[in-house]
Amino acid sequence: MIIKISGMCDARNIREVSALDIDMMGFDFYPSSERFVQMISSQAGIVPDFSPERLKKATRPEETGNTMVPKRISRVGVFVDDMPQSIISRVYNYSLDFVQLNGDESEVMIDNLKRSLVPDLVPEIKVIKAFNICSTADFARCSVFESCTDLFLFNIGCGTKTGRNREDALKMTKAYNGKTPFLLGGNICLDDAEAVKSLHHPQFAGVDLNEQFEVSAGIKDVERLQKFIAEVK
């Protein structure tokens, strides 16, 4: 099961979370987010607040002696209706592995973005398209993105946070009959671990964890994350 931790922006917390058994780490590149990772200008153009070198050190412990370096955590840049040029700049500067699109991006925009990156700039780049799923009817919107997207993110329940309603919301995924693998997101919390583990769907790939595991905006509770991961894996 893929474990994706989103909304990371603090260098120390990045190091702490990267020590867990996770697969992806998400960084918000839209200014309205409390977890926005800013860019700073320089005479050389636009450079990231986290340079590739700093981000590499944060997400991969240095090799010491004969200790093997852990697997590389995939870097996911999260964008909302951004300009393709801006996305490409961040993909390049941050060495992103995935572009996650949370806005009203069209399949034409995504196809053009991928053509701009593959094969010359970033041949291995992958695209995640996020959808808010409030009812089973919302899955119909996904079909037109099958050909241009590598992974879907379903934010399930539209704000339903706890109790039986959360469990029922997770079960809505049974109505999805597409061929693109998906992650589950949308206020998933520690109490959802059992429901997530029991979820059986041929395209279910993993979970996206964010606000429900924070002690403050952008700062994740490592112990709660560790407990959730231990329960679902």
For residue 142, what is the domain's CATH number? 3.20.20.70
Q: Is residue 50 situated within a structural domain?
A: yes
* Residue 44: pLDDT band with limits 50, 70, 90: very low
Report the phi/psi class of residue 157: left, alpha or beta, with left for phi > 0 and alpha for psi in -120 to 50: left
Say if residues 125 and 117 touch (Cβ distance below 8 Å): yes
| Predicted confidence (pLDDT) per residue in 103-143, tens digit | 999 999 999 999 999 988 899 999 999 999 988 999 999 99
C-alpha to C-alpha distance for 210 and 56, rounded to whole angstroms: 21
Q: Which residue from 175, 169, 172 is spatially nearest to 140, judged by alpha carbons?
A: 175
Q: Is residue 66 situated within a structural domain?
A: no
Would you state the pLDDT for residue 233? 87
Q: Pick the residue with more confidence: 171 or 84? A: 84
pTM of the predicted structure, to 2 decimals: 0.86
Write out the DSSP string of 73-90.
PEEEEEESS--HHHHHHH
**At a CB cut-off of 8 Å and minimum separation 6, what does 153 contact?**
100, 128, 129, 130, 131, 182, 183, 184, 185, 208
Q: Is residue 167 situated within a structural domain?
A: yes
Q: Determine the structural domain holding residue 146 and report its residue range.
A: 2-60+71-232
Number of folded domains that form the chain: 1
Q: Is residue 39 situated within a structural domain?
A: yes
* Residue 166: pLDDT band with limits 50, 70, 90: low
C-alpha to C-alpha distance for 117 and 24, rounded to whole angstroms: 20
Q: Which of 9-13, 148-152, 157-161, 185-189 has the highest mean pLDDT?
A: 148-152
Q: Is residue 164 situated within a structural domain?
A: yes
Say if residues 39 and 49 touch (Cβ distance below 8 Å): yes
Q: Is residue 65 situated within a structural domain?
A: no
Cis ω on the peptide bond leading into residue 119 (within 30° of 0)? yes
Would you state the pLDDT for residue 55? 56
C-alpha to C-alpha distance for 36 and 39, rounded to whole angstroms: 9
